[in-house]
């Protein structure tokens, strides 16, 4: 029974990581964002990079965290990569830098 439940959790985790990576690639290449978040994301390519980085970090954290202590630093790196990707996705909700009008010299 425990082995079957473990298999369900691993398959669900792999599916979530694959979906995250797929949505990230779609955001990078086409600028497509999931419909519920479409009105909030102002920079879809940056959001796609954050999504792809989050998928890589989540995979490191989930799938290498079960190994013995000789690999104990890789899941920790995966966790930090995942949380860093959340920061990138948060930045994607902010407007980017746009060049403003040239300054006018009113002194002459």
Residue whose tokens read 């079957």: 4
Tally of CB atoms within 10 A around 94? 9
Quote the CA–CA distance of 48 and 46 in Å, as a whole number.
5
Higher pLDDT, 5 or 25: 25
- pTM, rounded to two decimals: 0.79
101 pLDDT above the threshold of 80: no
Quote the CA–CA distance of 90 and 51 in Å, as a whole number.
11
Mean of all residue pLDDT scores within the chain = 86
Summarised one tens digit per residue, pLDDT across range 32-77 is 998 998 899 999 999 999 999 999 999 988 887 766 666 678 888 8
Provide the pLDDT for residue 9. Answer: 85
Q: Phi/psi of residue 39, each to 5°? A: -75, -15
């Amino acid at each position: 029974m425990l082995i079957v439940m473990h298999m369900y959790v691993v398959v669900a985790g792999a599916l979530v990581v694959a979906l995250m990576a797929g949505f990230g690639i779609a955001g990078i290449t086409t600028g497509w964002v999931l419909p519920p978040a479409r009105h909030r994301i102002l920079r879809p390519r940056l959001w796609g990079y954050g999504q792809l980085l989050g998928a890589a970090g989540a995979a490191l954290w989930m799938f290498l965290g079960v190994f013995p202590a000789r690999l104990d630093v890789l899941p920790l790196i995966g966790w930090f990569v995942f949380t860093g990707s959340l920061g990138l996705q948060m930045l994607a909700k902010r407007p980017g830098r746009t060049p403003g009008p040239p300054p006018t010299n009113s002194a002459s």
